[in-house]
Structure 1
Amino acid sequence: MTPELREALDAHRHARAGELFDIAGLLEDHSFTADAGPVREAAQQCLGGIRTVRGDLPDVGRTYWGYEISDLKIALEPQRHCRPRGATMESVTGSLTVRVEEYVPPDQASVGAAFTHLRRLDTDFSFDASLVVDGDAHTVRSAWHLDTHLFMDTVSHAVHPRFHFQVGGERLDDLDHLIRGVFMPETPRMPVAPLDGILAIDFVLAHYCGGAWGVLRDMDASYKHLRKAPMQRYWAPYFRTLCDGIDALDTVPHGGDANPLIPNIFC
């Protein structure tokens, strides 16, 4: 790694750490969580060592850095339209885990330039409620994840967008033997724009703490600023790639770089 690349990469990682430290304070100040420690730990990880892909994973030998927000507890507002209707969720806390890994780019001009350097950007979210059946209380769980599909060249049983949303997942494993009334097949995997730590937290707050999120969004200028940088860094090039690929279907096979994002794009 050249000194110029190292300097640019260090500045990029310090900026990402600063964003996480800032949102940790906002989450506590606005009572979304009693302990933003997992976010602060992730901020410290931004400044950690560079890692190398090993084993039989894609891109063996490439270097990357990353962070993980592990099991952040978020206080949820009462949820509407829940099924089954008899389920109760008093003082429910959701659990959020976000994993972000970025490859080291080839030169300083490419640092933080787009989502194309992402190795993975995964989000897991779940929360529990209680359901009484025949006098016995049972735990019921909502769980979903946003995944990064690393194995782009392998054959899959179904379409596998690069970044995708999927209900269910391994967070249901410990309740699997209790499930009686839901059939949840493996698909569909809905393509989504990638979420880093900031955008994943904002996604959960917007959908599960809508009232308080609206106040935070409208009243706190620092929160607006925190959301803007990752949207411009990841979402703008993501949607630009999709638009360019679809527009170029007559001349570029399978829409070029857009195809891994949404494999349905081909011609």
Structure 2
Amino acid sequence: MAVSTKNMSFRNERAKDLRQLSQLLSRVVGGDVNTYVLESVISQLQNKDFIPTLKDGSTDENVWGYDIEDFKMPLDTLSHVKPQDITKGEIILNMKLRAKIEHWNTYHDPFIELAYNVMIKGVGNRTYHLGFHIDKHIANTQTKEPHPIYHLQYNLNPTKSNSPNLGNLFYIDTPRIMHKPIDFILGISFLTSNFYPIAFESLKDEREFVKLQENYQDAIWKPYFHTIANKWKPFQETNIVWNPINDICPIFI
């Protein structure tokens, strides 16, 4: 079944945004970021015969999304790194996103499924790994621990080794830290600001990058934060005295 013209218009806009970000990364950051992996994502979004599959194996032409495999960028924050023999590093992102088209730019949760998996690789006398993910918890999944619907969780064995060298580290499955939902576009600000801050500062000077961030913050973060603020009723703009907002969230643009 081919995707409707209306839904393709939406998907083409998302493909256009990813293309614009890819070009910005290539021009501003350079060849150290492998933007070519986005080409297949863009092509799928533009393909009216492609409908992403959900976890349960079903498809719905009103659902859009993409998978990104092995997006890489340098680790440029090595000033406090340990072990001290590490001389270079790399960030590797794999992600899966599924979302309802009708919930975009509304106050609904924009995503059905989200898995944003990051592996940090450090190279010294040997190769070291650290990982974390930001994902969406499926509400009907049974669990003993609290699960914020969107959360960040660290992974000390991202390579899934049967015998990881954890040294003196103690590894446990918790905590799951409440976190904002992110797509690839907002995720670029998250990754560069934390791991490649020189690139982030350069990207912030680009009008197109700022506009992309503003648009996706409106679509993805506004419903999230409005829902949280609604805990304290009535929510009044005159009561906002804690400023600037960038001290709370440095990647707000």
TM-score, normalised to structure 1, is: 0.76
Conservation of the 8 A alpha-carbon contact between 1:143 and 1:171: yes
Is residue 52–residue 66 contact of structure 2 (8 Å, CA) maintained in 1? no
Question: Residue 147 of structure 1 corresponds to which residue in structure 2?
Answer: 135
Alignment gaps of 5+ in structure 2:
235-253
Structure 1 residue 42 corresponds to structure 2 residue 28: no
Aligned to 1:204: 191
**Match of 2:141, SS?**
coil
Higher mean C-alpha displacement, 208-217 vs 13-22 = 208-217
* Equivalent position of 1:255 in the other structure: none
1:241 and 2:227 are equivalent in the alignment: yes
* Matched AA of 1:37: Y
Q: Which residue number corresponds to residue 81 of structure 1?
A: 80
* Post-superposition offset of 1:170: 5.8
SS of 1:99's equivalent in the other structure is: strand
For residues 26-52 of structure 1, the C-alpha deviation after alignment (integer angstroms, 9 at most, x for no partner) is 111121635311122222222342246
Q: TM-score, normalised by structure 2?
A: 0.79
Aligned residues: 229
Query: Is contact 1:68–1:98 with CA below 8 Å preserved after alignment?
Result: yes
**1:238 Cα shift?**
0.6
User: Which amino acid is 1:140 matched to?
Assistant: Y
Paired residue for 2:112?
119
Deviation at 1:194, TM superposition (A): 0.6
1:17 is paired with a residue whose SS is helix
Cα contact 1:78–1:89 (8 A) shared by 2: no
- The alpha carbon displacement at 1:139 in A equals 2.2
| Structure with the higher fraction of residues in helix conformation | 1
Alpha-carbon shift at residue 177 of structure 1 (Å): 3.0
Q: How far off its partner does 1:242 sit?
A: 1.2
Matched, 1:129 2:115: no
Is the 1:54–1:61 contact (alpha carbons within 8 Å) kept by the matching residues of 2?
A: no
RMSD between aligned residues? 2.6
Partner Cα distance (1:246, 1:212) in 2: 38
Rate the CA distance shift 1:226–1:159 in 2: closer, same or farther, 3 A: same
Give the letter for the 1:50 counterpart: I
Q: Mapping of 1:1-267 within 5 angstroms?
A: 6-29=4-27, 30-31=29-30, 33-48=32-47, 49-51=50-52, 53=54, 55=56, 64-84=63-83, 86-90=84-88, 92-105=89-102, 110-114=103-107, 116-130=109-123, 137-150=125-138, 152-168=139-155, 171-174=158-161, 176-217=163-204, 219-247=205-233
Q: In percent, how many aligned pairs have the same letter?
A: 21
Name the amino acid aligned to 2:7: L
Q: 2: CA distance between counterparts of 1:247 and 1:170?
A: 43
Alpha carbons 1:8, 1:111 under 8 Å: kept? no
Q: Distance in 1 between matches of 2:32 and 2:90?
A: 9
Structure 1: any 5+ residue segments left out of the alignment? 132-136, 249-267
CA distance in 2, matches of 1:209, 1:175: 31
Corresponding residue SS for 1:194 = coil
Quote the Cα distance in structure 2 between the aligned partners of 1:37 and 1:205. 18
